[in-house]
């Protein structure tokens, strides 16, 4: 019965999205696509092409060669294309542009103090367990440490921040639910946006003193 107390149920606790690595894609793939032709001279799906029957039947008259199911029962299978050169994911192009703009093309370092990089990394780590209060506490720890130490090294700053971060992660009282606390995703976005706006716009590299290179976005292709 629909209202039976014995009816099994599940409650969704969270959802996340990510991208497959090259190794994961190859494990999921059933066919390497190497043939640029979709159909052969007789109009049949070309072997190793995008219509290869290993990827699933294209119409009701065909059968999948991977799962041996017909058009109605085969959900389709993944294939992959081996690229001769590394290609940047177009979905992340905006992030690539920001990274290039905020990088020194002479010494290949980010044009911002190392301290703020360590701070951002630690803040993002504590947000993974939903510790919103730790984000502001880390900033106070860094400011206090810089006031008490005249010329600290990047390693000393990192150790100071890491010590507090480890305590938060070890004493996390929210358990696996921490990353689902309301406003965590919004806080992550604000932290990263503030980092780009405040620390990645220097006109001269603080490390090698080289002037900032001009990086332009182009939407045209030759």
pLDDT by residue (tens digit) across 21-68?
A: 889 999 999 999 999 998 888 888 899 999 999 999 988 889 999 999
Shared domain for 133 and 188, answered yes or no, is yes
Shared domain for 79 and 148, answered yes or no, is no
CATH number at residue 40: 4.10.860.120
CA–CA separation, 205 and 222 (whole Å): 32
Please give the residue that has the higher pLDDT: either 80 or 176. Answer: 80
Q: Which residue shows structure tokens 């014995």?
A: 6
Is the model's pTM score more than 0.85?
no
Residue 168 lies in domain:
113-199
Shared domain for 55 and 121, answered yes or no, is no
Shared domain for 124 and 189, answered yes or no, is yes
pLDDT by residue (tens digit) across 147-167?
A: 888 788 888 899 999 999 998
Look at residue 219 and tell me if it is in a domain. no
Shared domain for 45 and 117, answered yes or no, is no
Q: Can you point out the beta strands (E) in the chain?
A: 31-32, 79-80
pLDDT by residue (tens digit) across 194-222?
A: 898 888 888 888 888 888 888 887 765 54
Look at residue 216 and tell me if it is in a domain. no
Look at residue 79 and tell me if it is in a domain. yes
DSSP code, position 162: H
Look at residue 66 and tell me if it is in a domain. yes
Shared domain for 117 and 192, answered yes or no, is yes
Look at residue 156 and tell me if it is in a domain. yes
pLDDT of 219: 60
CA–CA separation, 210 and 200 (whole Å): 15
Shared domain for 186 and 135, answered yes or no, is yes
Instruction: Give, to the nearest 10 degrees, the angle between helix 114-127 and helix 184-199.
Output: 170
Contact status, residue 38 vs residue 45, Cβ threshold 8 Å: yes
Residue 76 predicted with pLDDT over 80: yes
Look at residue 42 and tell me if it is in a domain. yes
How many structural domains does the chain have? 2
Choose the final residue of a domain: 87, 102, 136: 87
DSSP code, position 204: B
Among candidate residues 137, 207, 125, the one with its CA nearest the CA of residue 166: 125
Q: Which of 95-104, 133-142, 180-189 has the lowest mean pLDDT?
A: 180-189
Query: What is the chain's Cα-based Rg?
Result: 26
Look at residue 106 and tell me if it is in a domain. no
């Amino acid at each position: 019965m629909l209202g039976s107390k014995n009816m099994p149920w599940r409650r969704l606790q969270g959802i996340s999205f990510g991208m497959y690595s090259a190794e994961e894609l190859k494990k999921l793939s059933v066919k390497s696509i190497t043939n640029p032709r979709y159909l052969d001279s007789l109009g049949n799906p070309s072997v190793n092409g995008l219509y290869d029957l290993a990827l699933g039947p294209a119409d009701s008259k065909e059968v999948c060669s991977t799962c041996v199911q017909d058009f109605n029962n085969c959900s389709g299978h993944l294939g992959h294309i081996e690229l001769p050169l590394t290609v940047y994911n177009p979905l992340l192009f905006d992030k690539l542009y920001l990274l290039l703009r905020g990088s020194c093309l002479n010494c290949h370092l980010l044009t911002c103090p190392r301290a703020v990089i360590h701070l951002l990394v630690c803040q993002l780590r504590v947000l993974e367990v939903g510790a919103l209060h730790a984000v502001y506490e880390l900033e106070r720890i860094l400011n206090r440490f810089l006031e008490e130490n005249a010329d600290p090294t990047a390693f000393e700053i990192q150790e100071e921040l890491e010590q507090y971060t480890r305590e938060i992660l070890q004493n996390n009282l929210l358990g696996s639910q921490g990353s689902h606390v309301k406003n965590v995703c919004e806080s992550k976005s604000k932290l990263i946006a503030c980092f780009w706006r405040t620390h990645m716009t220097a006109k001269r590299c603080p490390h090698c003193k080289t002037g900032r290179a001009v990086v332009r976005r182009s939407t045209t292709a030759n």
